[in-house]
Structure 1
Amino acid sequence: MNSKRIGFIGLGLIGGSIARAIRRCFPSSEILAYDTDRDSLSLAMADGIIDYACTKIDEHYGTCDYIFLCTPVSYNSGYLSSLKEILRPGCILTDVGSVKTDIHLKIIELGLEANFIGGHPMAGSEKTGFSNSTAHLVENAYYVLTPSAKVPDEAVQRMREMVAAIGAIPIILGYQEHDYITASVSHLPHIIAASLVNLIKVSDSEDGLMKTIAAGGFKDITRIASSSPVMWQQICLTNGENISRILGDYIDYLGAIRQALDSGNQSELYDLFYTAREYRNSIPNASLGPIKKVFAVYCDIIDEAGGIATIATILASNNISIKNIGIIHNREFEEGVLRIEFYEEDPSLKAVELLRKYRYTVYER
């Protein structure tokens, strides 16, 4: 990609990370941005990530070769209406939302199909805002592109090349197919996790015994229940039809499992766990899907004063940052006494090598 002018509307975690990646890969490009948070724009200017901070959506965006719409879904319609008046032919308009049907329907309504290629970078963080953005956030992550029916093939190819250049893995899908897939592998799991946590909450005794012993495996499989309530409310409202469809299939499947339990059907119960184990083990062990991977290792330590401190010191002295560390008290389904979580994959791999060098028994997931 030659030197281009690239506009951002919204410069939070995702928008800021993509802007940083573009600045790193295409340093001669001009980047302009609009955000209601003036501090984010000031920080982006100070960091040299953007060249222009816009106070509104105006004619500056009419000169862009690419425009990334990186705002909450509920704000998209207003910005699209503003862009319709100034968007130039040949400009690629894209977004980063995790639900695609709503925005595609709005694009069709406004007559912007010749410009629009929907986008969904399958990466994120529990942190928010431009201050937490990184140039490598989307590296090695799937980046789904959902081209409109009237967008030229040449524009789709340019967008693929842009995505690949910043280190992501482009995948082309229809917007309806995208929403059904994400409903199945991302949206439904979040609903299951949230409902399971709430089930335990209302089933717990007054002394909170379930909560006390629910660490370990339970906390791992329900980790995504800690996600933003507002974001998941909006996802459910915008992709409700697909989620309801797959949720219905899941409820039917749960009913079949309950029937197998009630009838004591040995073969069906065995097949439930055997097929799940085989299919899960066939899934590539990489942080490429819509649910962010946790980089954690587990190791055995002797119960003695300073045991955790020793490991923390070993890692810190080798410039390995720890996100979280703690003893696992409920180890019914876990190997390892100590769980250590890292921010990224490379530090976790280095930690495994280092701890084994010091003769710790380390278990990887």
Structure 2
Amino acid sequence: MKVHIIGAGSIGGSIALRLSKRGHRVSIFDQNVVTTEMLRKKDPSIEVSSDAFTPGDLTVIALPMNSEEELLLSADFTGPAFDVASVMQPFQEIARLRKIRLISGHPMAGNVHKGPAGWDESMFDGRVFLFSPGEFATGEDLGLVLMVVSELGSSPEYLPPERHDYIVGRISQTAYFLSRTLLRLGGDFEKYSGPGYASTSRLGRQNMDMVLDMARFNGRNIASSLEEAESYLHDIRTAIEEGDLSKLEELISGY
């Protein structure tokens, strides 16, 4: 299969390396030519394209969400497209209006590194890969996407876009802000911290541009989750202030 990837960041580069290793013809485009040259040196069989669009069986969009929005609004897609954004609904709405054969995908994988530092062809092994076909995607398009997911070593799982964005807001995107809260509390004392602090605060060190994109494209779900978290933390604080250990135990048990 010929796969063309737009974006050579952590996710896009990792997909390119894995699919190339599995014997697929892979081409990639990124505005940062230094990055694409690094990728070609890492795997000479990957073709570096000077054009965002190159004929292939499937186009994978692995761009920051603001850049993906611009692409979907302006470019003429003639074949199937598969994106890997952490939000689905806004891009599905654009695809419906422009009759793009988009299949939304979200690998539940990644790392805190940006660009080439985050390339890892085994990143997707054993991970769930959420997907949702858009209105104009065909059964053949879906078959190509499921083949890619299989080659990445992931397990595909369907979720409607609205449900996906709600769930990811709760289990992933809101977690950044909770982690960031810990960094705010402990940032001056990190030299005393142990592995628990390091693992809990890891998400709070993510790429700021990505975080702002999450807030822009899934802000309603994130805000709702943060409101629930505020209420829960308020109840915990009240129980501690009042010395009500029975109430505290009730609040923190059950998970």
Q: Could you state the TM-score of these two structures normalised by the residue count of structure 2?
A: 0.88
1:14 corresponds, among 11, 18, 34, to 11
Q: Which has the higher helix share?
A: 2
Q: Which residue of 1 aligns with 2:27?
A: 32
Q: Secondary structure at the residue paired with 2:120?
A: coil
Q: Could you state the TM-score of these two structures normalised by the residue count of structure 1?
A: 0.64
- Counterpart-to-counterpart distance in 1, 2:194 and 2:235: 29
Give, in angstroms, the shift of residue 132 of structure 1: 4.7
| Deviation larger for 257-266 or 189-198 | 257-266
Give, in angstroms, the shift of residue 34 of structure 1: 1.3
2:98 corresponds, among 110, 117, 121, to 110
**Which residue identity is paired with 2:46?**
I
**Which residue identity is paired with 1:136?**
S
Give, in angstroms, the shift of residue 172 of structure 1: 1.0
Compare CA radii of gyration and give the structure with the larger one: 1
**Which residue identity is paired with 1:155?**
D
Q: Say whether residues 1:189 and 2:185 are aligned partners.
A: no
1:259 corresponds, among 225, 238, 241, to 238
**Could you list the runs of 5+ residues in structure 2 that have no partner in the other structure?**
none
1:54 corresponds, among 49, 56, 79, to 49
- Counterpart-to-counterpart distance in 2, 1:37 and 1:55: 11
Identity %: 23
- Counterpart-to-counterpart distance in 2, 1:81 and 1:192: 33
- Counterpart-to-counterpart distance in 2, 1:64 and 1:273: 52
Q: Which residue of 2 aligns with 1:213?
A: 192
Give, in angstroms, the shift of residue 200 of structure 1: 4.1
**Which residue identity is paired with 1:35?**
D
Q: Say whether residues 1:226 and 2:205 are aligned partners.
A: yes
Give the aligned CA root-mean-square deviation in angstroms.
2.3
Give, in angstroms, the shift of residue 111 of structure 1: 2.0
Give, in angstroms, the shift of residue 93 of structure 1: 0.4
Of structures 1 and 2, the one scoring higher in RCO (CA 8 A, sep 6+) is 2
Q: Say whether residues 1:125 and 2:125 are aligned partners.
A: no
Q: Secondary structure at the residue paired with 1:136?
A: coil
Give, in angstroms, the shift of residue 82 of structure 1: 4.8
**Number of positions where the alignment pairs a residue of Structure 1 with one of Structure 2:** 254
2:61 corresponds, among 45, 69, 87, to 69
Q: Which residue of 2 aligns with 1:97?
A: 85
What do residues 85-129 of structure 1 show as CA deviations (whole Å, max 9, x unaligned)?
A: xx33xx3201111122222222123221xx110111122223332
Q: Which residue of 2 aligns with 1:238?
A: 217
Q: Say whether residues 1:198 and 2:194 are aligned partners.
A: no
1:229-308 matches, within 5 Å, as 229-275=208-254, 279=255
**Which residue identity is paired with 1:30?**
R
Does the aligned pair in 2 maintain the 1:57–1:82 contact within 8 Å?
Answer: no
1:143 corresponds, among 125, 129, 136, to 129
**Could you list the runs of 5+ residues in structure 1 that have no partner in the other structure?**
202-207, 280-365
